[in-house]
Amino acid sequence: MGRKGGIFRYGDGVDKLLMFFGTLGCIGDGLMTPLNMFILSSLIDDYGGASNDNNSFTNSIVDKYSLRLLYVAIGVGISACIGGICWTRSAERQTSRIRMEYLKSVLRQEVSFFDKQDGSSSTSFQVVSTISADAHSIQDAIAEKIPNCIAHLSTFIFGLILAFYLSWRLALASVPFSLGFVIPGVAFGKLLMIQGMKMKDAYGVAGSVAEQAISSIRTVYSYVGENETLKRFSIGLEESLNLGVKQGLTKGLLLGSMGMIYVSWAFQSWAGSVLVANRGESGGRVFISALCVVLGGLSCMSALPNISFIVEATTAAARIFELIDRVPQIDSEDGKGKILAYVRGDIEFKEVTFIYPSRRDVQVLQDFSLKVKAGKTVAIVGGSGSGKSTVISLLERFYDPIKGDIFLDGHKIKRLQLKWLRSQMGLVNQEPVLFATSIKENILFGKEGASIKMVVEAAKAANAHEFVASLPDGYDTHVGQFGFQLSGGQKQRIAIARALIKDPKILLLDEATSALDAQSERIVQEALDQASQGRTTIIVAHRLSTIRRADKIVVVESGKIVESGSHDDLMCKTDEEGGVYFKMVKLQQSTANNEGPSSPYLPNETRSYMRRGYNMPRSPYVATSSWQNSPASSFTPAISASYAPTIHTCSYYGSDDEYLENFSHPSPSTWRLLQMNAPEWKIALLGCLGAVTFGVLQPLYAFCLGSVVSAYTSNDISKIKSEIKIYSIVFLSIGVTSFIANLLQHYNFAKMGEKLTKRIREMVLSNLLTFEVGWYDRDENTSAAVCARLSTEARMVRSLVGDRMSLLLQVFVSASTAFVLALIVAWRVAIVLISIQPLLIASFYSRSVLMKRMSERSQKAQSEGSQLASEAVINHRTITAFSSQDRMLDLFAETQKGPRKENIRQSLLSGAGLFCSQFLTTAAIALTYWYGGRLMNRKLLTSKHLFQVFFLLMSTGKNIADTGSMTSDLARGSSAVASVFAILDRKTEIEPENSEGIKVIKVLKGKIELKNVFFYYPSRPDQAIFQGMNLKIESGKTVALVGQSGSGKSTIIGLIERFYDPIKGQVLIDDRDIKSYNLKSLRSQIALVSQEPTLFAGSIRENIIYGKEEATESEIKKAAIRANAHEFISAMEDGYETYCGERGVQLSGGQRQRIALARAILKNPTILLLDEATSALDSVSENLVQEALEKMMMSRTSVVVAHRLSTIQKADTIAVIKNGKVVEQGSHSQLLALGNNGSYYGLMKLQSGHSPYR
């Protein structure tokens, strides 16, 4: 297939054959116009001569020409059909190969390839959009653009040859005039494309504002940031609006310059009259020669837009092939390297120095040396960013060290075969990555082709068999995307089973239990203890209590080992001797009393949060590991769903219609859309005036053409000259008028459309920002889907108003003028021609609509593939670690079967559609002249009237057909309008700006009460969270909520913020039902700090003042100092103006958390809600954040959700929640006094006594 080979690089022999026949078909298709013209050149002379010589014109002449035209119709129809079928089929075959090769190459790349976060082609979003958008543009180019281009060029070349053959003098004189409309057309067309690209980029700014707000909707609501978001969105749209208006002006100039066609006719008809009168050339041949030059020029212009698409597809192909050809530095497909016959499991790091490729200024490991003996357990501990997780990454060969070597059983790992090396290791992360398939398939990712018996054994070893067996579908249970159907502990055990099925000699555990609650952690820890027996095990841990039994503990600081030894050895080193480990243990005991499992939003209770990834904590793993030093962190195997929405954009291509099916709204009224455009009525009038004027000009021009033909066939030379003189002046006037009319029409309609687009986008976002959180919990309302709608549907509405309406008005005026004029001139022929128009229109219409229906299905099927590719890229590390690239490719190949079947049907239908449209066009000409000729023989019609009606109605048919082929756009446009109105008309169930609600003017006292509350999540109505929950929180007090995962702790916070309303019962604040308040003013008194804080792309200052724009410099500083953040902010080069990156990726977990705290402090709330605010931090960061929290909680009503019981022992009241009810309430000492029977006592015991490493 050659290394380069352009866009057809993946075409095989069959494809070459298909393309060869397809090309022949397209050339035949393009011959339609030249062949028809050739027949008409003689026909005009014979028909025109009939009025001069009555006897020679007979029915046999009429039949001769009609049959010739019919033969052409059949030949051209068959050619077009073959062309359509062959190209469409070949396009699908080639693109599915390209998609496959591309994904294969992406999965083969080394991990550092995905670390770049600078928007380059290696980001996850780019990869996925390439597999859908770029591959689609290649398929589109091969299936449609290339064949169109060939057909138009065939018309152009053969048309020009025919023009010179019929009358070379006139052809020679006319060619420069064709250039007169081709050249400006090309120039303006290019300008139009450049502006189009700029517009796309311009919307990107506003689009990212909307995407961040929607994906972090809880933060926006909690800080009442709706107005600020809308303001930033509106400013972002300005640039897009100005570019759109400029584009309209360019389009007006482009189509206005086409008025040169009419000017060229002014010259050609005069030059032709000279040739006919003075040179004695035949009128028919001269006229057709002129017509061929004009049609040739137009064909050339029609071919040109296709070329830009083909160039675009070639560029896309070059981008794709560049990655396909990229050989990774660490190549998992490289079969070279040693394979050891027996692995003991001795590991040694020898003076290893390492820097992340994406962050060359930070040295992660410096001369790092470590020996791990076979079968022993070594734990690595240290602060955030010290380089702990990097050790595991280097061992897995995700990266290679800059200096130094790593050995396995005395062999350099660089010299071992990579796939084999990885097969000897089992990796378990803090946030396990599961794929959207069954439990069995997920475990099999660890070892291809393992038997079901091995799967069960691995599950038993991982303590997972019991819960899997209890599921209705057992091992065939589908885990959902990212495994959201399972709880954290269940996912973790399946991940362990996946690691164990390959019976690895080396087990790598990276924070494998830190994100679990006490009970899940105990079970998982048992499984890990069992798994590590007899294996070399390396554990990265924050919670020191979990690793006390390790054979050796290594303390890492700034990439160097500062201490190592067993737990007892290290505890003997007191402060005088350094004792880093000793200090860490003491620090953890003071802040977290031993240890405490932490959980990102609780698995059962809030799985709906996770499913969409809104405000979902990015894995605590990132905040705690040295990977956070590298932008790699966002693609760690521990990637959490918070990244999913931004990456899944691609899977929503073509999701408009699916989305609409979920609504039962009446079909949208265009009138309502126009009412929204009411402020621009003056602009609209000018646009309509332009459209109507241009619409009238076209039939006038066609009428004059018919008259010119008739004049040419006259025997009276003086009559020829005088008549043609008048028509030349008319043509000239039409040219000038058409330029002005086009300019008026397109500039004004564009202005109107752009203003409407901006207005709609603002209204839609404004309404979206009132919707209750439950709406965003639904699968179809992920941030990606909503943002795609905001971007594409608003644009569709713009094209509906700007382009479509102006075109419809123009065609309507043009068609009705032509019909009326034709009926006046010669009603008999006109009636026949008008009656066959519907057939012509129907053939074009059905073709485009059928094509749309077909492509819809194949796009749906394609979106499944994109979704899979997206998962594959996000989970690239897991796939790399388990060498599951082939497995992913098999799954991907499976998703391509649907589109292939669809494509076969599509190609046959497109062939049939092309046959009908091409056949009917020529057959209509044959019918016109056959019937007209018969009427002329009966003296019921003159040739002049026949020619006039023919030109009037043939061009009109083409115009209506073109508009007909645009119906798919209209259908899409109206479905977009429906979708837009569905959002605009939806009334939120929780109104944030209730005018009748009580506005909180004075400061609230902060008393909170939940009274007999019943609640379930709208997305999971079958799972009750609360059944009669009662809870009182006195003002100014701190209440801690504790309990198992899924007991409903975080739900209480959601209800206090009124993200949801209870199904039954009341939530009271200051003894008033929360529903009676104006929600925005209430939320301004409440601050929420969650486990994984949401920061927006902007400076640190902008993030701190979010929701409180008017804050002064001293207030910002004061808030930062109280949040223990001022020190690290001041140390940064740009201080408070430092850019945080999207979602704050430029900062570490602890830094993000403290900025979020500063934001909450600045708000000076009466009620403070803390949802696991420190669980994802390492000891040092946690200490700083905990200190800041305690300062902040003084004299405020505080509600704290915690897993780590040691962090809430100072709370005024602790409420233990079980099965959706408060089962115990009291202070720490009161609850402990209940002894063995108390739930709190049980939880404490579980947390302090569960670790086997004691």
pLDDT in tens, 484-511: 777 777 888 888 889 888 888 898 988 8
- Give domain status of residue 482, yes or no: yes
Classify residue 893 as exposed, middle or buried by CB count within 10 Å of its CB (0-12, 13-18, 19+): middle
Cβ–Cβ under 8 Å, residues 131 and 97 = no
Q: What is the pLDDT of residue 55?
A: 65
- Identify the H or E element spanning 860: helix 827-874
**Per-residue pLDDT for 14 more than 80?**
yes
Domain span holding position 356? 347-416+424-600
**Per-residue pLDDT for 332 more than 60?**
yes
φ/ψ (deg, to 5) at 506: -125, 130
Nearest to 1088 by CA among 991, 999, 1161: 1161
- Give domain status of residue 585, yes or no: yes
Residues whose CB falls within 8 Å of the CB of residue 1012, separated by 6 or more in sequence, listed in order = 1028, 1029, 1030, 1064, 1065, 1066
Q: What is the pLDDT of residue 192?
A: 83
Question: Which tokens in the block code for residue 767?
Answer: 């309404």
Pairing between strand 347-355 and 363-372?
antiparallel
Question: Which tokens in the block code for residue 49?
Answer: 């001569």
Question: Which tokens in the block code for residue 893?
Answer: 């190949």
**Per-residue pLDDT for 655 more than 50?**
no
Q: What is the pLDDT of residue 934?
A: 94
Beta bridge partners of 380: 540, 554
Question: Which tokens in the block code for residue 934?
Answer: 């018969």
Nearest to 468 by CA among 448, 485, 447, 450: 485
Cβ–Cβ under 8 Å, residues 1091 and 601 = yes
Mean of the pLDDT values across residues 129-146?
Answer: 83
Beta bridge partners of 1073: 1068
Q: What percent of the chain has pLDDT over 70?
A: 87
Cβ–Cβ under 8 Å, residues 195 and 246 = yes
Asked which of 568, 600, 632 is the last residue of a domain, the reply is 600
Q: What is the pLDDT of residue 966?
A: 61
- Give domain status of residue 949, yes or no: no
Give dist(CA 650, CA 328) in Å, integer: 25
Query: Is 350 strand, coil or helix?
Result: strand
CA 354 to chain centre: 35
Give the CATH number of the domain where residue 491 resides: 3.40.50.300
- Give domain status of residue 805, yes or no: no
Tell me how far CA of residue 795 lies from CA of 466, 650, 976, 980, in angstroms: 53, 18, 9, 11
Cβ–Cβ under 8 Å, residues 559 and 388 = no
Residue type, 795: R
Q: Model pTM?
A: 0.69
Cβ–Cβ under 8 Å, residues 1223 and 1217 = yes
Nearest to 869 by CA among 127, 48, 98: 127
For 264-297, give one letter per residue: b (16+ CB within 10 A) or e: bbbbbbbbbbbbbbeeebbbbbbbbbbbbbbbbb
- In the numeric block, the tokens 């309406």 are attached to 805
Which range is least confidently modeled, 710-714, 936-940, 1040-1044? Answer: 1040-1044
Nearest to 988 by CA among 1060, 1055, 1053, 940: 1060
Q: Which residue has the higher pLDDT, 803 or 931?
A: 931
Q: Which residue has the higher pLDDT, 1057 or 1245?
A: 1057
Asked which of 600, 625, 648 is the last residue of a domain, the reply is 600
Give dist(CA 431, CA 389) in Å, integer: 13
For 436-495, the pLDDT digits (tens) are: 788 998 898 888 788 899 999 989 888 888 888 888 888 988 887 667 777 777 888 888
For residue 968, what pLDDT band results from cuts at 50, 70 and 90?
low
Residues whose CB falls within 8 Å of the CB of residue 975, separated by 6 or more in sequence, listed in order = 656, 657, 660
Task: Report DSSP state, residue 1219.
Answer: T
Tell me how far CA of residue 647 lies from CA of 5, 639, 811, 1097, in angstroms: 31, 12, 42, 16
Per-residue three-class SS string for 477-506: CECCHHHCCCCHHHHHHHHHHHHHCCCCCE
**Per-residue pLDDT for 1251 more than 90?**
no
Q: Angle, nearest 10°, between helix axes 32-50 and 681-712?
A: 60
DSSP string, 75-130: HHHHHHHHHHHHHHHHHHHHHHHHHHHHHHHHHHS-GGGG---SSSTTSHHHHHHI
Residue type, 377: T
Q: What is the pLDDT of residue 496?
A: 86
Residue type, 1190: E
Give dist(CA 529, CA 535) in Å, integer: 10
φ/ψ (deg, to 5) at 121: -65, -5
Q: Which residue has the higher pLDDT, 208 or 651?
A: 208
Cβ–Cβ under 8 Å, residues 191 and 65 = no
Task: Report DSSP state, residue 58.
Answer: -
Q: What is the pLDDT of residue 461?
A: 83
Cβ–Cβ under 8 Å, residues 47 and 58 = no
- Give domain status of residue 201, yes or no: no
For 66-125, the pLDDT digits (tens) are: 999 999 999 999 999 999 999 989 998 999 899 899 889 888 888 887 775 443 334 566
Nearest to 1211 by CA among 1189, 1238, 1233, 1243: 1189
Question: Which tokens in the block code for residue 660?
Answer: 């609409």
- Give domain status of residue 611, yes or no: no
**Per-residue pLDDT for 209 more than 90?**
no
- Give domain status of residue 1109, yes or no: yes
Question: Which tokens in the block code for residue 697?
Answer: 């000009």
Q: What is the pLDDT of residue 647?
A: 29
CA torsion 718-720-721-724 (nearest 10°) is: 150
What angle is formed at CA 1035 by the lines to CA 1030 and CA 1036, rounded to 5 degrees? 130
For 511-562, the pLDDT digits (tens) are: 877 666 677 677 777 777 887 888 899 998 877 877 888 899 999 988 888 8
Question: Which tokens in the block code for residue 1221?
Answer: 């009810």
**Per-residue pLDDT for 832 more than 80?**
yes
- Give domain status of residue 1095, yes or no: yes
For residue 723, what pLDDT band results from cuts at 50, 70 and 90?
very high
Nearest to 241 by CA among 865, 794, 651: 794
DSSP string, 951-978: HHHHHHHHHHHHHHTTHHHHHHHHHHHH
Cβ–Cβ under 8 Å, residues 284 and 44 = yes
Give dist(CA 295, CA 951) in Å, integer: 14
Cβ–Cβ under 8 Å, residues 206 and 236 = yes
Cβ–Cβ under 8 Å, residues 553 and 567 = yes
Give dist(CA 1086, CA 36) in Å, integer: 78
Structural domain total, the chain? 2
Tell me how far CA of residue 1250 lies from CA of 226, 494, 794, in angstroms: 45, 21, 56
Question: Which tokens in the block code for residue 1187?
Answer: 């200190």
Asked which of 545, 565, 600 is the last residue of a domain, the reply is 600
